[in-house]
């Protein structure tokens, strides 16, 4: 499971307006769509937060997918309505479901990894392995 959100989205939304904020969310959606398979559901979880359920993928594959999303967003400019181009970044938390783990516990672990990445400086991927945050990439 991957949980992600756009870094500093509130500041972007406040500075550029809600129409541009909506375009930023659509831009992120396109980046995600280019990386994940059709069988992997992508859901808007709230605000600028998204959840991706990766089916039949191990931790290494999930980390690779998350990193490709991170790099894709960071290197693909969003063209604003003014014609100006801006780059966005995102932080992603990754967690693999543990044996017997509930969906809410899995979401909580992915969320913990996401917020660990935020506190570590944003624009990174963090894995929460077995309840403890194990690795960070940026």
Q: What is the pLDDT of residues 31-48, one digit of tens each?
A: 999 999 999 999 999 889
- The yes-or-no answer on residue 48 being catalytic is yes
User: Where residue 131 falls among pLDDT bands split at 50, 70, 90?
Assistant: low
Mean pLDDT, residues 48-55: 96
Asked whether the beta carbons of 12 and 24 are under 8 A apart, the reply is yes
Radius of gyration of the chain (CA): 15
What domain range includes position 115? 2-137
Domain count of the fold of the chain: 1
Q: What is the pLDDT of residues 93-114, one digit of tens each?
A: 999 999 999 999 999 999 999 9
Q: How far is CA 92 from the centre of its chain?
A: 4
Task: Tell me which H or E stretch contains 105.
Answer: helix 103-119
Closest C-alpha to 50, from 39, 61, 36: 36
Per annotation, catalytic residue among 20, 33, 34, 48: 48
Query: Which pLDDT value is given to residue 130?
Result: 72
Of residues 136 and 27, the one with the higher pLDDT is: 27
CATH code: domain of residue 25: 3.30.70.270
Share of the chain above pLDDT 90, in %: 91
The pTM assigned to this predicted structure is 0.92
């Amino acid at each position: 499971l991957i949980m992600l959100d756009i870094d500093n989205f509130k500041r972007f939304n406040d500075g550029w307006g809600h129409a541009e904020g909506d375009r930023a969310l659509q831009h992120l959606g396109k980046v995600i769509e280019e990386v994940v398979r059709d069988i992997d559901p992508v859901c808007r979880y709230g605000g600028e937060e998204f959840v991706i359920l990766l089916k039949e993928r191990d931790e290494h594959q999930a980390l690779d997918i998350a990193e490709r999303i991170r790099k894709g967003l960071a290197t693909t400019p969003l063209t604003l309505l003014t014609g100006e181009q801006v780059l966005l970044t995102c932080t992603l938390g990754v967690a693999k479901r543990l044996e017997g783990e509930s969906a809410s516990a899995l979401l909580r672990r992915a969320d913990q990894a996401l917020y660990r990445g935020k506190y570590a400086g944003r624009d990174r991927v963090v894995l929460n392995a077995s309840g403890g945050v194990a690795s960070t990439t940026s």
